[in-house]
Structure 1
Amino acid sequence: MADKIHFHTNGRTDFDLVLENHLENITKKEGYIYYEIVKRNFNTDGGNFLGVLLEIDVKGKTTDGEKETNLFVKKEIPFEKITVLDSKVMFRKELFVYIDLAKVVTHLQDSAKVPDEDRFKIAKAYPESNEEILIFENLAKKGFKTYGKFDILPLKYIELAIKELGKFHGISFVIEQRMPEFYENKIKTQKSPFNFNDDWKGLMEKIFLYTANLLGGETKRRIEDYLPIAIKKYPMYDNDQTSVRCCLSHVDYHFANILVKENDGEPVEVITIDYQLLDYGCPLRDLLFFIYSATSKDFRGEHMVHLKDLYFETITRYLKYFDMDIEDVYPRKDFEKVYKEWKDYGLIRTLYTSIFLFPPDSGLDVSKLSLSELPYEPSPEVQERVRGWIEEFLEDGYL
């Protein structure tokens, strides 16, 4: 019989007991004869809002010898006052990706003999996962990490993330053609989880007006004039499923949700995590949000065209494994048209989510505060990013 599980923590909670049952099932499947379990809280530098994160190491012996299994656990944080999002809905979305979608993606890529370097990858989740607890392999133990919120991100990393995004959208187009019933019932039904209510508007007003006062002058007036436009346009962008080419969209595609592995300091591989905001909508939202949240104005001035082309070329290349022509799926002229028309999505989304992208080191207490009650006091580093976003959208005529 396996030894009793030992949690290295002060006291036991109901969550510990539930998790213990899940871990007991995992240890049985992994063939442990005896083992010990060590649990640690996972620090996200203030960047996690939607779940309690734990690292768990199972160490012991099987009939084949010594063994170690490294797990990563996410537990739902119920919201007390935030009604913009429903934590249970978000957990169901992640469960769909890691359990259901992962099987479909693996099957399709295996059937098409897509080589490992060109596959879209989904982290391994254990079937013990449910709508309250998600259990994954711990990718940190395989050398993956996230960059810090103020790190200067290497071009190579940005390129790898853009390629991974292209493959994610590409596999959605493949599912639409190869598995139409699954697509209709499981993908097109992925609605935006947001409730754009007065609490959301309160946060938008707080951040836009703070930014207006920060920059002052004629820019202040333009931002103030743009605020009601942004409040009207953003829900339209998020809920639009008819006027643009749609597919499965991550919606929260930024540096904190894209793990990277390095070799001698050079990024060599990325993998996407955190699908809690998943929906069916315009794929360019993911592209624009990632680029604007991850790069500086000068970087975009030098590389924006290249990154946009790289994204489209990646989808084109990926679809060829499935004998699909990008022009039949997402014609380049349509892509360019939507890119131009929707570019201000990048401004609205990055500005209002800057409070979450670059939180204070102490984090934000979303479990007890409403969105409009969250403190917005951007650091000098964040203010510099904000200036870059505003200047660019002024230059492009969106403000």
Structure 2
Amino acid sequence: MADASAPPPALRTLIEDIAQKQNYNNPQLTITPLSTGGGNYTSELFLITVTAPGHEDLRLFAKVANVNGKIRDEGPITKCYETERFVYGSLVDIFSKIEEKNSVAVEHRLRFPKYYGCNPKLLEETIVLEDLGARGFDTHDRLKSIDWLYAATAVAELAKFHALSFAYQEENPEEFAQVIKERKFEFGSDERMKVMWEGMVREAVGACREESRARLAKYLMDNVKRVRDYYEPLRRPVLVHGDYRPSNLMHKIRPDGSVEMIPVDWQMVRAGCLATDLMYLIFTGSDAAFRASHYTALLEEYYRQLCAALRRLKLDPEAVYPREDFDYELEQSLPYGLLLSVFVLPLVTVEAANAPKLDKLMSYDDWKVKTSSVFSDRINGVVDDYVAWGIL
């Protein structure tokens, strides 16, 4: 039997090709599996060191598809891998040219990990990037709430991404229209979605305090069909990250105490409403105490940063995305925070030992997540917020 931790032969072949293109002759490769402790589900991760005489070590990071079987046909998994190749192989260059054209200062540009190559072959899909960990970047502890400094940095980076999407649309509307057409999110069948949703609702309701259970259960089952609505644009389409949570934000603390951040994991990029990215960050990354102190201020900070990013791209915020549009889309998207909490928080807060392994699942029928005490605390905080806001 093959060693489950051994790197796939196709990965070694890809790394050898990358090393050759980087002029690393007769390289020595060290390929080490990397565990995220429940932070990643659709890929097997590897750290790679390429060593050759006369060169500094080349430190790389690889994501290799680990989802097979029927589960491939039941959800948008294959498209996720294709989407990430599109982002690193095309969109990064498009955005960089927009920033250069508008003379955006380096410190205000959206940063991506350096991209080295990919393997697009079905069931072997692989992306190879620089190893940000080798430069001191790490992910936030997903079992702890984000703080203000981290959150403010995260929305600033998100604003740059959305602003570049607006600029792309302004500069090349026909090409942008084709991109968002290709990036439309694909759901599984209604029946499959209903079965999965009912299981998630049972977990969420079971974790809630007794006085909230009936109210939450009714709201979630009454609104299951609305989930699809939140994956569509509202007043103006933009490209959204789609999975903007702390596990997908590499960060490090600078000597002056400020936060440096690079978003990663672009598998879920799609056409949508920018407010849903904000809901995703807030409700997957924060607890009730953070929201009580910073929710409104964080939304204000995002819009301030968006306006600044648009102006750097020579765009007028009032013409492109006025405050009334932002407020409208926030109001319309607010229920999404509750619905995605039911779906995503069990995964965000799962103990590492209980994290589901998609490479072992043959169907979503086998999908089970053993929730933690952190999930109970988080989901009760979300329910309390939505009761206070008059939605529940």
TM-score band, normalised by the shorter chain? over 0.9
For 1:294 and 1:265, the matched residues in 2 are separated by 24
Equivalent pair of 2:252/2:259 in contact (CA under 8 Å): yes
C-alpha spacing 1:52/1:312, structure 2 compared with 1 (3 Å): same
For 1:252 and 1:217, the matched residues in 2 are separated by 31
C-alpha spacing 1:185/1:224, structure 2 compared with 1 (3 Å): same
Pair 1:165 & 2:154 matched: no
Structure 2 match to 1:335? 326
C-alpha spacing 1:386/1:128, structure 2 compared with 1 (3 Å): closer
What percent identity do the matched residue pairs reach? 25
Which of 59, 76, 92 is residue 82 of structure 2 equivalent to?
92
When the two chains are superposed, the root-mean-square deviation of aligned CA atoms in Å is: 2.1
Alignment of 1:27-66 (within 5 A): 27-61=19-53, 65-66=54-55
What amino acid is aligned across from residue 186 of structure 2 in structure 1?
P
Structure 1 match to 2:56? 67
For 1:85 and 1:124, the matched residues in 2 are separated by 29
Residue 331 of structure 1, CA deviation: 1.3
Equivalent pair of 1:47/1:359 in contact (CA under 8 Å): no
Pair 1:192 & 2:185 matched: yes
For 2:256 and 2:103, the matched residues in 1 are separated by 31
C-alpha spacing 1:393/1:179, structure 2 compared with 1 (3 Å): same
Structure 2 match to 1:119? 109
Structure 2 match to 1:320? 311
Structure 2 match to 1:213? 206
Equivalent pair of 1:58/1:69 in contact (CA under 8 Å): yes
For 2:5 and 2:41, the matched residues in 1 are separated by 23
Q: Deviations over 1:251-310 (max 9, x none)?
A: 111000011022249352111111111110111110011011111112111111111011
Pair 1:223 & 2:216 matched: yes
Residue 78 of structure 1, CA deviation: 2.7
Give the TM-score of the pair, scaled to structure 1: 0.91
Give the TM-score of the pair, scaled to structure 2: 0.92
Q: Deviations over 1:58-117 (max 9, x none)?
A: 0121xxx24210111111123324344232211110000001001111111111111122
Pair 1:18 & 2:10 matched: yes
Unaligned 5+ segments in structure 1 are 1-8
Pair 1:149 & 2:138 matched: no
Q: Deviations over 1:226-259 (max 9, x none)?
A: 1223311111211x23x43220011111000011
Q: Give the aligned length.
A: 385
Equivalent pair of 2:284/2:344 in contact (CA under 8 Å): no
Pair 1:290 & 2:281 matched: yes
Pair 1:77 & 2:66 matched: yes
For residue 226 of structure 2, give the secondary structure of its aligned residue in structure 1. Answer: helix
Equivalent pair of 1:249/1:286 in contact (CA under 8 Å): yes
For residue 32 of structure 1, give the secondary structure of its aligned residue in structure 2. Answer: coil
Equivalent pair of 1:196/1:235 in contact (CA under 8 Å): no
For residue 135 of structure 1, give the secondary structure of its aligned residue in structure 2. Answer: strand
Q: Deviations over 1:309-368 (max 9, x none)?
A: 111111111111222111111111121022112201001012211222122312202231
For 1:143 and 1:233, the matched residues in 2 are separated by 41
What amino acid is aligned across from residue 378 of structure 2 in structure 1?
R
C-alpha spacing 1:66/1:276, structure 2 compared with 1 (3 Å): closer
Structure 2 match to 1:250? 241
For 1:55 and 1:265, the matched residues in 2 are separated by 29
Pair 1:280 & 2:249 matched: no
Equivalent pair of 2:83/2:268 in contact (CA under 8 Å): yes
Unaligned 5+ segments in structure 2 are none
Structure 2 match to 1:3? none
